[in-house]
């Protein structure tokens, strides 16, 4: 691979990030502009912003990695995200827009009348999103290693500039950057898939069936694990702060609903790219190191050096488009759900920018100590919020006659089970047991205990 050409293209990306950050910052006058883009986004912007949150390192690198091991069953993570989008498109996205809040955690104050619960929910959301953000950074590091580029300074400079552009422009900068990045990603990888399929001797879907039968017929399929990989992204999509932030920023309820459906359709079609490349790498007998993704080796084997460079830039664009969305969502939780006046900065806008910078730096540092299996890291992160927050949030979307004790019951039961389940040997999907117990905790709190409605 021509490293110098790759570095030149990457330098252009870095320059664009900086320019977009400065441009977007000129239109940011207050916190609403910074975190919600003035609540005026249309279908095109929201659709591409939703895609950007999901087409990241987990989807491309992780899906190819799973498909290399178990074939077509590698689609489970992507299918879970698509199911989530389709559920949002049934009306949940529009409902989120109508709630007129800035974070999902605010519902614990407006519905359950408890500031303490809001802070607990926000903290859980922050931990989850931080786990997903770190997964993107880990993915980028693995990507650079897979192409033989060990320049630590380039890795650090890229992430510093991405954090900087997000800090400057907030959601405005993220939306602008994500739109161009998603168009670039779709163009590159759809073209690669089209070229590869033109070399196949059988039809499109027959190619997948043929590879599955000849290469993966005796593969061990961990069905319990796959169920969690399917269900956790689907459920988390319904309560995820970085997705909800796009719906909160939509111009109308209809925009939110239509955008969710469009994003789901585009996402399932695009999922065929990493699945094909992962299966093809195994079919061709490419040797892939443990805990590494076969995505780039497959592209290298099937195309040429220039296409490999463009694909690498495409993956980096996918990772960064997800990462800046997560960074903005985490900062929104911290700045709007907690009192941070003690830091001595009076301007809420300047506080928010400082938080974005700090969160980005901490996530970058954490990437050096986290495991390398991207999909597992993502699923565990999703499971934390789903175990504790899914039940009380879904109920709060549609009901106002809910009790504080119900939310406490759901969070305490879900969190206790989430921690304890990993010490219990069970054949059940470990991520689903806490969700069930959380639901039971909610029911007990709602119907068996009395509580006041005073704000705490």
Least confident of 82-86, 182-186, 210-214, 447-451: 447-451
Beta pairing partners, 41: 250
Tokens of 417: 């089970």
Higher pLDDT, 53 or 228: 53
Higher pLDDT, 280 or 228: 280
pLDDT for 71 beyond 50:
yes
The pLDDT tens digits of the residues spanning 247-278 come to: 888 888 999 999 999 999 999 999 999 999 99
Beta pairing partners, 250: 41
From CA 111, how far away is CA 446, in angstroms rounded?
A: 13
When pLDDT is averaged across residues 63-75 and rounded to a whole number, the result is 87
Structural domains in the chain plus CATH codes: 3-375 (1.20.1730.10)
User: Are the C-beta atoms of 235 and 390 separated by less than 8 Å?
Assistant: yes
Percentage of the chain lying above the pLDDT 70 cut: 89
Inter-CA distances, 66 with 119, 359, 399, 426, Å: 36, 30, 39, 23
Backbone region of residue 449 per phi and psi (left: phi > 0; alpha: psi in -120 to 50; beta: other values): beta
When pLDDT is averaged across residues 334-346 and rounded to a whole number, the result is 74
Torsion sign over Cα 328, 334, 337, 341: negative
Q: What is the pLDDT of residue 200?
A: 86
């Amino acid at each position: 691979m021509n490293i110098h050409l790759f570095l030149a293209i990457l330098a252009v990306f870095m320059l664009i990030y900086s320019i977009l950050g400065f441009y977007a910052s000129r239109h940011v006058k207050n916190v609403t502009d910074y975190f919600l883009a003035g609540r005026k986004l249309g279908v095109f912007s929201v659709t591409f912003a939703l895609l950007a949150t999901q087409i990241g390192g987990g989807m491309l690198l992780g899906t190819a990695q799973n498909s290399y091991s178990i074939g077509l069953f590698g689609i489970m993570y992507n299918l879970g995200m698509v199911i989530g989008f389709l559920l949002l498109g049934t009306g949940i996205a529009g409902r989120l827009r109508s709630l007129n809040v800035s974070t999902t955690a605010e519902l614990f104050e407006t519905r359950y009348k408890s500031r303490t619960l809001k802070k607990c929910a926000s903290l859980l959301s922050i931990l989850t999103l931080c786990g997903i953000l770190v997964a993107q950074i880990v993915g980028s590091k693995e990507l650079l290693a897979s192409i033989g580029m060990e320049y630590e300074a380039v890795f650090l400079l890229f992430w510093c500039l991405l954090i900087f552009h997000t800090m400057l422009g907030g959601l405005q900068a993220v939306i602008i950057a994500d739109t161009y990045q998603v168009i670039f990603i779709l163009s590159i990888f759809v073209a690669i898939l089209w070229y590869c399929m033109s070399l196949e001797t059988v039809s499109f879907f027959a190619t997948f069936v043929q590879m599955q039968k000849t290469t993966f017929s005796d593969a061990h399929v961990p069905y319990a694990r796959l169920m969690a990989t399917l269900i956790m992204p689907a459920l988390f999509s319904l309560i995820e702060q970085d997705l909800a932030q796009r719906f909160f920023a939509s111009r109308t309820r209809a925009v939110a609903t239509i955008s969710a459906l469009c994003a789901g359709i585009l996402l399932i079609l695009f999922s065929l790219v990493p699945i094909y490349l992962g299966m093809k790498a195994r079919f061709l007998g490419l040797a892939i190191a443990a805990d590494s993704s076969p995505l780039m080796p497959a592209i290298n084997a099937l195309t040429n050096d220039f296409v490999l460079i463009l694909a690498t830039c495409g993956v980096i664009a996918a990772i960064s488009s997800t990462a800046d969305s997560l960074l903005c969502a985490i900062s929104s939780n911290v700045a709007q759900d907690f009192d941070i006046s003690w830091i001595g900065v009076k301007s809420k806008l300047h506080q928010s920018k400082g938080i974005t910078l700090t969160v980005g730096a901490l996530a970058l540092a954490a990437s050096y100590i986290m495991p390398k299996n991207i999909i597992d890291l993502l699923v565990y992160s999703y499971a934390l919020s789903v175990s504790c927050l899914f039940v009380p949030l879904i109920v709060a979307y549609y009901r106002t006659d809910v009790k504080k004790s119900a939310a406490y019951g759901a969070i305490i039961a879900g969190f206790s089970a989430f921690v304890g389940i990993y010490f219990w040997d069970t054949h059940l999907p470990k991520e689903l047991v806490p969700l069930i117990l959380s639901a039971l905790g909610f029911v007990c709190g709602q119907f068996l205990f009395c509580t006041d409605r005073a704000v705490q």
